[in-house]
Structure 1
Amino acid sequence: MWMYLGLLAALFLGLHNLCKKHAVQGNEAFPVLLGTVSSGFIFIATFYLLSIFYPNYAVSQGYNFQVISWQQHGYIFIKSIIMAGSWLLAYQALKHLPITIVTPIRSAGPFFTFIGALVIYKESPNFFQWIGFFLIILSVILYSKIGKKEGIIFKKNKWIFAIIAATFLGASSGLYDKFLIQNLNLNPQTLQFWFCFYTIFILIIILCFTWFPYKHKRSAFKFRWSIIAVGILLQTADYFYFKALQDPDALIMLLSAIKRSQIIIAVVVGGLVFKEKNKRKKLVPLFGIMLGVFLILYS
């Protein structure tokens, strides 16, 4: 069951990436990020209020919110710091790079998760899972070759390093999620609510120095419907992902790889919507990544 929940998370993540590209195009990345997290928080807060005023109904529908300790709050705050850093880097990179380059690099996230799952959680991959992970990495390298034809030199482009760092932080957060869900026994909605709350707090502090004081930056910001859509789609994807992690049999290395199937939506649909270059050539490494995910899933 947890694998199917992972596929649902991938579906909503793919749609989330398309909306995110639309939201940041020609826009200030930091306030867009604050807007997306805030819209996601309002979405989750609606259920939080329902659980307060109609607790019995909330429990029957499976979205009751836990009362947690200050120590648990501290652990969630650490996750907020990690993901705020990852998102700040990723949004800036997405603003300056094609989605058909950004998304495949993000697809290398399972490799970092894979290493962490081996070392921290002692998860045991088999021969075909090894092949699958190396296929993903080799496919990302092939994307770098295609990226050069679009004027994107990986070694000299700072946004490439930004998206790689964002990917590493995101993978670290994925490993941390398993600890929060399985060791601290946090349910998905409680984790999402407080995670969004603390992330908004962190982003507001950052924007107080980088955006709010500058009138020309504030006037350059354009509100778009996709900002709200990004927040809602991300929270929906996270809910299915965290529900999958609640299963004690769930392997974080496999869930991380399953989530990367979102790349089909981002590369195929995104390439058509945003009219990016070399779509056909990108199908070759896309196939490599999907084959890697397939080997991981069905081995």
Structure 2
Amino acid sequence: MWMYLGLLAALFLGLHNLCKKHAVQGNEVFPVLLGTISSGFLLIVPFYIGSHFFKEEMVKMDFYITAIPWKTHGFIAIKSAIMAASWVLAYQALKHLPITIVTPIRSAGPFFTFIGAITIYQEKPNFYQWIGFFLIILSVLLYSKIGKKEGIHFKRNKWIFAIIGATFLGASSGLYDKFLIQTIHLNPQTLQFWFCLYTVLILLVILTITWFPNAEKRKAFKWRWSIPLVGILLQIADYFYFKALQDPDALIMLLSAIKRSQIIIAVVLGGIIFKEQNKRKKLIPLAGIMAGVFLILYS
């Protein structure tokens, strides 16, 4: 069951990435990020209110947000800091790079998660899983060669380093999720509510320093319908992902790889909608990534 929940998370993440590219194109990154996270937070607020006044109904619906100790708040705040840094880097990179380059690099996330899952959680991959992961990494390297044809030189482009940093932080957060869900025993909606709240507070501090005082930047910001949609789609994807992690049999390294199937939506639909270059050539490494995901699922 947890694998199917992982695939549902991948579907909504793919749609989320398309909306995110639309939201940041030619736009100020920080207010867009704040708008997306705030929208996702507002989606969950009714469940928090309902948990106080209609506890039994919320429990039956499996949307009850539980009370947690201050120590657990600290653990969630750490996740918020990690993801805020990851998103800031990712959004900046997405603003300056094609989605068909950014998304495949992000697909290297399962490799970092894979290493962490072996060393921290002692998850044991089999032969097919090893092959699958190396197929994903080799396919990402092939994307880097295609990227050079679009004037994107991976060694000299700072946005490439930004997206690599975002990928590493995102993978670290994924490993941390397993600790929060399976060790601390947080339910998905409780984790989502407090995580969003702390992330909004972190972003408000960043914007107070970098954006609010600058009138030119404020005028450059453009509101788009895709901004709240990004936050809503992300919350739906996270809910399915966290529900999958609640299963004691769920392996974080496999879930991380399954989520990469979102690439189909980003590369195929993204290439058509945003009219990016070399779409056909990008289908070759895309096939490699999907073959890697298939081997993991098959194993």
Task: Look up the equivalent residue of 2:278 and give its one-letter code.
Answer: N
Q: Which residue of 2 aligns with 1:271?
A: 271
Q: Which residue of 2 aligns with 1:259?
A: 259
CA distance in structure 2 between the aligned counterparts of 1:151 and 1:111, rounded to whole angstroms: 27
Deviations 1:51-84 (A, max 9, x none): 2222211111111111000000000000000000
Task: Look up the equivalent residue of 1:180 and give its one-letter code.
Answer: L
When the two structures are superposed, what TM-score results if normalisation uses the length of structure 1?
Answer: 0.99
Q: Which residue of 2 aligns with 1:31?
A: 31
Q: Which moved more, 1:165-174 or 1:48-57?
A: 48-57
Q: Which residue of 1 aligns with 2:200?
A: 200
How do 1:179-194 and structure 2 match up within 5 A? 179-194=179-194
Deviations 1:58-115 (A, max 9, x none): 1111111110000000000000000000000000000000000000000000000000
How do 1:47-58 and structure 2 match up within 5 A? 47-58=47-58
Q: Which residue of 2 aligns with 1:103?
A: 103
Quote how far apart the aligned CAs of 1:45 are.
Answer: 0.7
Taking only the aligned residue pairs, the percentage that are identical comes to: 79
Task: Look up the equivalent residue of 2:151 and give its one-letter code.
Answer: G
Gaps of 5+ in 2: none
Quote how far apart the aligned CAs of 1:36 are.
Answer: 0.2
1:15 aligns with 2:15: yes
1:140 aligns with 2:121: no
CA distance in structure 1 between the aligned counterparts of 2:254 and 2:261, rounded to whole angstroms: 12
CA distance in structure 2 between the aligned counterparts of 1:24 and 1:195, rounded to whole angstroms: 23
Quote how far apart the aligned CAs of 1:280 are.
Answer: 0.2
Quote how far apart the aligned CAs of 1:214 are.
Answer: 0.1
SS at match of 1:156: coil
Task: Look up the equivalent residue of 2:236 and give its one-letter code.
Answer: T
Q: Which residue of 1 aligns with 2:113?
A: 113
CA distance in structure 1 between the aligned counterparts of 2:251 and 2:242, rounded to whole angstroms: 12
Q: Which residue of 1 aligns with 2:244?
A: 244
Q: Which residue of 2 aligns with 1:71?
A: 71
Moved over 6 A (4+): none
Q: Which residue of 2 aligns with 1:166?
A: 166
When the two structures are superposed, what TM-score results if normalisation uses the length of structure 2?
Answer: 0.99
CA distance in structure 2 between the aligned counterparts of 1:185 and 1:221, rounded to whole angstroms: 40
Quote how far apart the aligned CAs of 1:50 are.
Answer: 2.1
Deviations 1:248-291 (A, max 9, x none): 00000000000000000000001000000000000000000000
SS at match of 2:12: helix
